Structure 1
């Protein structure tokens, strides 16, 4: 039980003294970067899906009725 208590005590101390938390402007900037990157990747995946779907529909139409 002593090891668990020590672990939590040291973890709390590390959070307060050793971790550097971002400032509000840094946090906002990072959030915007993540949102833009997520939107770009989503758009890229959607385009790839649309193109591959179109190609497959074309290929299937060649061999189907």
Structure 2
């Protein structure tokens, strides 16, 4: 455990606050875009299935 603490204290480079903010914002935006793409794909498939099943 002492080795782990020494490694965290001496060898790990921690991001600056501004860099952390930028990365978090990028992840948030990418997640929203990804969710919107999945939503649109789901709606396309839903409409296709409704169209298919209404034909019978």
With the shorter chain as reference, the TM-score category is over 0.9
Aligned residues: 56
Kindly state the Cα deviation for residue 23 of structure 1 after the two structures are TM-superposed: 0.2
Q: Which residue of 2 aligns with 1:51?
A: 44
> Which one of the candidate residues 27, 30, 36 is aligned to 2:20?
27
- Which ranges in structure 2 are unaligned for 5 or more consecutive residues? none
TM-score (norm 1): 0.85
State the structure with more CA Rg: 1
Structure 1 unaligned blocks of 5 or more: 1-7
Structure 1 moving runs of 4+ over 4 Å: none
Two-structure CA RMSD over aligned residues (Å): 0.3
**What SS does structure 2 have at the residue aligned with 1:10?**
helix
